[in-house]
Amino acid sequence: VSYSKCEQASQFYKEKWRLKMARLEVITGPMFSGKSEELVRRLRRAAFANQSIFLCNPASDVRRTRNIFNLVSNDNKLSSYQHLSRYNITDVENLKEAFDEHKPHILAIDEAQFLFLNYEVFDFLVDLLEREKNSDFLIIVSGLCLDADGRSFGVLPELMSKADEICLLNAVCVRCGNPAIFTQKKPGGSQKQVEVGDENLYEARCRKCFVKQSLLPHQ
């Protein structure tokens, strides 16, 4: 039997393409770019597909508003969804334990920059993808990839290098309205790379309006 190119392609589609495969999706961009909203959208879609979801937030994220658990609680579908577990992670050990207990279809981690460049977490996620590569297992990681000095931040840039899909979102520059890729710390904040805050401390800025935190006046 000789196949035309087109038939070969459709044969390939039937036999190979829809074989199950694990995926890593990364959602990134500055603060206020809608990363958490995008994560909620993806989780809501997964809930309609009846997939079990394990949703994590680093315990060090103490913001009460715009926190992923609040967004999920206010979502019509997700708030009453049975197969969604929420978990505050403190370190890789408790992430592993909780994950092994639930064995979910989807592992989602929001604000992953608070995990720092933790290679234990990084290796855990990459090993998990390898272990589960023949199943429809999905990891979605959301967070900042740049700090307020405009430099690579935490585990996100590393994970982006291993991702099947990167969703890079922009906010709106508060100065000029251009698409914003940077998170600017407002004057008076500390020099620390990690300072948990919201509109009180940060704003979105474009490439032209962004001023590095290290160049700002400090009190």
Kindly tell me the number of DSSP H helices and DSSP E strands found in the chain.
6, 10
- Phi and psi at 104, nearest 5°, equal -80, 165
Q: Pick one of 22, 98, 160, 172: the residue that binds ligand ADP (CB under 6 A).
A: 172
CB of 71 to Zn ion, least distance (A): 27
**What is the Rg, in whole angstroms, of the alpha carbon atoms belonging to the chain?**
20
Our finding on whether 35 is near ligand ADP (CB under 6 A) is yes
**C-beta closer to ligand ADP: residue 9 or 59:** 59
Contact 91, 99 (CB under 8 A): no
For residues 158 to 197, the per-residue mask of contacts with Zn ion, x marking binding by CB under 5 A and - elsewhere, is ---------------x-xx-x-------------------
Our finding on whether 167 is near ligand ADP (CB under 6 A) is no
Our finding on whether 27 is near Zn ion (CB under 5 A) is no
Angle between helices 92-102 and 119-131 (to 10 degrees): 20
Q: Name the CA dihedral angle for 46, 54, 195, 206, rounded to a multiple of 10 degrees.
A: -20
**Known catalytic residues?**
111
Residues that bind Zn ion in the complex, under the rule CB under 5 A: 173, 175-176, 178, 206, 209
